[in-house]
Amino acid sequence: MARPLRRIIPGEIYHVVNRGNDKRVIFREEADYEHFMSLLIRGRERAEVTIHGFSLLSTHFHLLAQPMSRDALSAFMHWVTGCYACDLRKNTATVGFGHVFQRRFFSAPVEDHLGWLTVLGYIEANAREAGVVRRAEEWKWSSLFDRCNPRSGLADYDALRLPANWVEMVNLPWTDFLSALVQHDLSERRKRRMGQL
């Protein structure tokens, strides 16, 4: 039976996730993370996809991605994960051992600015929530670290307006983060109504 077609709307932003098959480790060492980051950068140049946020953990990754054409996201993910899987199998002498990734990839549209911020906060807090780091901005393989220490050139940080205290917000417990985000959104709406934005 054929897979159902993925409904992608050009210009919309999507939360994209994939993980290792059977939750296996896919990034074992720094070189693996660096290689995957370089594939994301090269893949972004091959397909019309803008990355607004990311986090790579040992068993999975998250992206906040914006495809500019209907087929761009699938082409981008197919190329990036396909290249990485082939390279991983070759470098670990495990060619023929089966799938590296659990599935093609999961993607869900993010509806509005508040939704983008919610998903971005989830993505950027991922390593802290997993107990890998004490503070979210310490995780070298995330857009939060990259935004605080510009280096990769992978993500476009200009498209999403972030609260001035974003780093502190991302380090809050999840329910406190959501409360702070709602307060920020209400404040932004008030300012818009009053013509201050």
Is 59 inside any structural domain? yes
- What is the predicted pLDDT for the residue at 5? 59
Residue 112 forms part of a structural domain:
yes
What are the angstrom distances between the C-alpha of 67 and each of 19, 50, 51, 64, 97? 21, 6, 9, 10, 32
What would the pLDDT profile of 137-185 be if each residue is shown by its tens digit? Answer: 999 999 999 999 887 788 888 877 899 999 999 999 999 999 999 998 8
Q: Which CATH number do you get for residue 143? A: 3.30.70.1290
The answer to the question of residue 189 being in a domain is no
Q: pLDDT tens digits for 24-69? A: 888 999 999 999 999 999 999 899 999 999 999 999 999 999 999 9
CB contact set of 124 (below 8 Å; sequence gap of 6+) = 53, 55, 136, 142, 143, 144, 170
**Which of 40-74 are b and which e, b meaning 16 or more Cβ less than 10 Å from the residue's Cβ?**
beebbeebbbbbbbbbbbbbbbbbbbbbeeeebbb
Give percent above pLDDT 70 in the chain. 90
Query: Which residues span the domain enclosing 92?
Result: 13-160
Q: Is 6 within a domain?
A: no
Residue 186 is predicted with a pLDDT of 86
pTM: 0.89
Among 89-93, 114-118, 151-155, name the most confident range.
114-118
Contacts of 29 (CB under 8 A, 6+ apart): none
- The total of structural domains in the chain comes to 1
- Confidence category of residue 117, pLDDT binned at 50, 70, 90: very high
Instruction: Give the pLDDT band (50/70/90) at residue 196.
Output: low
Assess if residue 173 is contained within a domain: no
Residue 31 forms part of a structural domain: yes
Q: Which tokens in the block code for residue 167?
A: 């780093």
17 within 8 A of 105, measured Cβ to Cβ: yes
Tokens of 62: 């998250």
Q: Which residue has the tokens 């906040």?
A: 64
81 within some domain: yes
Contact 110, 14 (CB under 8 A): yes
Q: Are 186 and 114 in contact (CB under 8 A)?
A: no
Residue 168 forms part of a structural domain: no
